[in-house]
A and B are shown apart, each in its own frame.
Chain A
Amino acid sequence: MMKSLKIQLKSALIEFNSEKARDILFSLKSKNEELVPKVIEEVLSEIGVEWEKGELALSHVYMSGSICEKIVEELFPQNYLAYNDYPKIGIVTFIDHHSLGKNIVLSVLRSVGIPVIDLGQGLSIQSLIDNIKKERIEILLISVLMLPSALKIKNLREELRKINYDIKILVGGAPFNFDKSLWKIVDADAMGCSPSDAVSVISNWLK
């Protein structure tokens, strides 16, 4: 039953059929509420993997996350994001102003019930550190499109070390997908190849 349901949901999402996706998830909630985030996570993960392989497009990834986020807001208007006791997670488009990647990851995480604070876009090292301290962020997700922005993550890490701020950093975006070792060079803790990787990496860190 679960397998068939996931196939149906995935099919609805890649056809951008939000009504069909809504019906599937509303029906699932009426049967077993706790399965909703699990099913969404698995389906979005499959879509992410297929995008990485070049079998699906970014338009699929973006719309799937966006559709799921909106449905989840309807399904769980108040307390869905408080399901689990998560550390403080923040997400940012660092230095540059290309925010699509950040927004997709945000949608994916919110769809599966992981609360995230949107720290914005175009933030410099100092303004990001100020925000991290203010929000007491423990896990930072950084999205970039431009190579220099990616390289400056190393400077961000150094500045955070200077003030003894302990934080996990997950990075993603085009420069990392074109150079698979770049995340290590910039001293991140992990990289995501697709937006849904954020879910699995965070889950692993919380084990």
Chain B
Amino acid sequence: MKSIDRVLKAISYGKPDRIPLVHSLTFYGAKELGISIEDYFSNPENVVEGQVLMQKKYHNDCYWGFYYGSMELEAFGGNSIFFDDCPPNAGVPIIKSLKDIENLKEPDIEECIGLQKVLQTIRLLKQESNGEIPILGGVISPFSLPIMQMGFGKYLDLLIYNREMFWKLMEINKKYSIKWANAQLEAGATAIGYMDPALSPSILNKDLFLETGWLIAKEVIPSIKGSTAIHLASGIVIPIIEEILQTGTQIISVSANEDIGIAKKLAQSRMAVMGNLNGIEMCRWDKADAEEAVKDIIKKAGKGGGLIISDNHGDIPFQVPENVLLAITSAVEKYGVY
């Protein structure tokens, strides 16, 4: 079965040949090509080469068009700080005072060099995939973008104490995020990862969630003209799963700190679950550990479709050995057959 059919069948709670596997191989491609992460993301052709090689090696059921989160801060005029062995961090916040929110302009996607590289990558991956392998794009949600735009602490202060300015910022971010997600779909992305770590109950109390991030997700997700997966980047989801269902997303990530079987049961055939391998512990797994972890997920959530096996953070660390990724693949192919 082709990867595209496998994934589509699984998210509609049908039975593909086996459970789809989505290793979050984003900046890991630099390791595959033996170049620095900064060099890797400097040229769409590098990313395409890395994605194609990794898809073949690990039998990944997708290509990743997504680069790294702080690229979206770059779109707003900020910068990224690159490292040798982990994803870039966001540089200095671009919003230092409330006045900066008043003056903030929505980025013009056409003029953002970084975003254009992503679109070019997606176009090239579309040619490579020949319609057989899903291409995942990604957008940092309007609600989580301010963590980079102004710093986490200051953002929480704004969210709690100055709702008027918060909504002003959200108006700009929402317009940008919808356009950015749809531009990726137009370029050939099959689905969009809606990265929203701030939405998780690990981060945000439910009252605030209901008054803010949830309303935004309910507005933005339906405006994205394609399939979406809400990704909470390791954060828990079970306490808000009913509300997540109401956003209309097709897929939700599940944390390694929660039971994926319970999450799937609560999703009640209306939304597929994705997860929940522990990407940190994975660094020191051996083959047996990988096999056990995969078997555990399948036991809890494999029955009847609706499951994509993946790590829980959305980025496989450089420190995860290749043989562990291969062992995960092998276990999914052995135990995940329907």
Interface residues of A (CB under 8 A from B): 14, 16, 54, 56-60, 62-63, 66, 95-100, 103, 122, 146-149, 151, 174-175, 178-179, 182, 185
Give the residue name and chain of the A residue nearest to B239 (CB).
A54
B152 at the interface (CB under 8 A from A): yes
Q: What would be 28 A-B contacts, judged by CB atoms less than 8 Å apart?
A: A14-B205, A16-B160, A57-B201, A57-B203, A57-B204, A57-B206, A58-B203, A59-B156, A59-B208, A60-B205, A62-B153, A63-B156, A96-B83, A98-B152, A99-B151, A100-B152, A100-B153, A146-B89, A147-B86, A147-B280, A147-B319, A149-B86, A174-B234, A174-B280, A178-B279, A179-B284, A182-B280, A185-B284
Of B85, B256, B284, the residue contacting A178 (CB under 8 A) is B256
Instruction: Tell me if B89 and A98 are in contact (CB < 8 A).
Output: yes
Q: How many A-B residue pairs have CB under 8 A?
A: 86
State in angstroms the CA–CA spacing of A54 and B257 once bound together.
9
List 10 tightest A-B contacts by C-beta distance, closest first.
A178-B280, A100-B152, A57-B205, A97-B89, A148-B86, A179-B280, A148-B85, A146-B86, A58-B203, A179-B281
Instruction: Tell me if A148 and B205 are in contact (CB < 8 A).
Output: no
State in angstroms the CA–CA spacing of A98 and B281 once bound together.
21
Residue-wise, chain B 75-97 has the 8 Å CB interface mask toward A (1 for contact) of: 00000010101110111000000
Instruction: Tell me if B205 and A59 are in contact (CB < 8 A).
Output: yes
Question: Which residues of A sit under 8 angstroms from B20, Cβ to Cβ?
Answer: none
Instruction: Tell me if B153 and A103 are in contact (CB < 8 A).
Output: yes
> In the assembled complex, how far is the CB of residue A15 from the closest CB belonging to chain B, in whole angstroms?
9
Question: Which residues of A sit under 8 angstroms from B151, Cβ to Cβ?
Answer: 99-100
Give the residue name and chain of the B residue nearest to A146 (CB).
B86
> In the assembled complex, how far is the CB of residue A179 from the closest CB belonging to chain B, in whole angstroms?
5
Question: Which residues of A sit under 8 angstroms from B201, Cβ to Cβ?
Answer: 54, 57
B283 at the interface (CB under 8 A from A): yes
Question: Which residues of B sit under 8 angstroms from A179, Cβ to Cβ?
Answer: 278, 280-281, 283-284
User: Which secondary structure dominates where chain B touches chain A?
Assistant: loop
Interface residues of B (CB under 8 A from A): 81, 83, 85-87, 89-91, 151-153, 156-157, 159-160, 201-206, 208, 234, 236, 239, 256-258, 278-281, 283-284, 317-319
Question: Which residues of B sit under 8 angstroms from A100, Cβ to Cβ?
Answer: 151-153
Give the residue name and chain of the B residue nearest to A103 (CB).
B153
Query: Given contacts A100-B151, A146-B87, could you give 10 more A-B pairs where the C-beta distance is less than 8 Å?
Result: A56-B205, A57-B205, A58-B204, A59-B156, A60-B205, A97-B90, A148-B83, A149-B86, A178-B256, A179-B283
Question: Which residues of B sit under 8 angstroms from A16, Cβ to Cβ?
Answer: 160
Give the residue name and chain of the A residue nearest to B279 (CB).
A178
Question: Which residues of A sit under 8 angstroms from B89, Cβ to Cβ?
Answer: 96-98, 122, 146
Instruction: Tell me if A54 and B202 are in contact (CB < 8 A).
Output: yes
Question: Which residues of A sit under 8 angstroms from B157, Cβ to Cβ?
Answer: 66
State in angstroms the CA–CA spacing of A141 and B153 once bound together.
19
> In the assembled complex, how far is the CB of residue B282 from the closest CB belonging to chain A, in whole angstroms?
9
Instruction: Tell me if B156 and A178 are in contact (CB < 8 A).
Output: no
Instruction: Tell me if A97 and B81 are in contact (CB < 8 A).
Output: yes
Instruction: Tell me if B204 and A62 are in contact (CB < 8 A).
Output: no
Question: Which residues of B sit under 8 angstroms from A63, Cβ to Cβ?
Answer: 156, 160
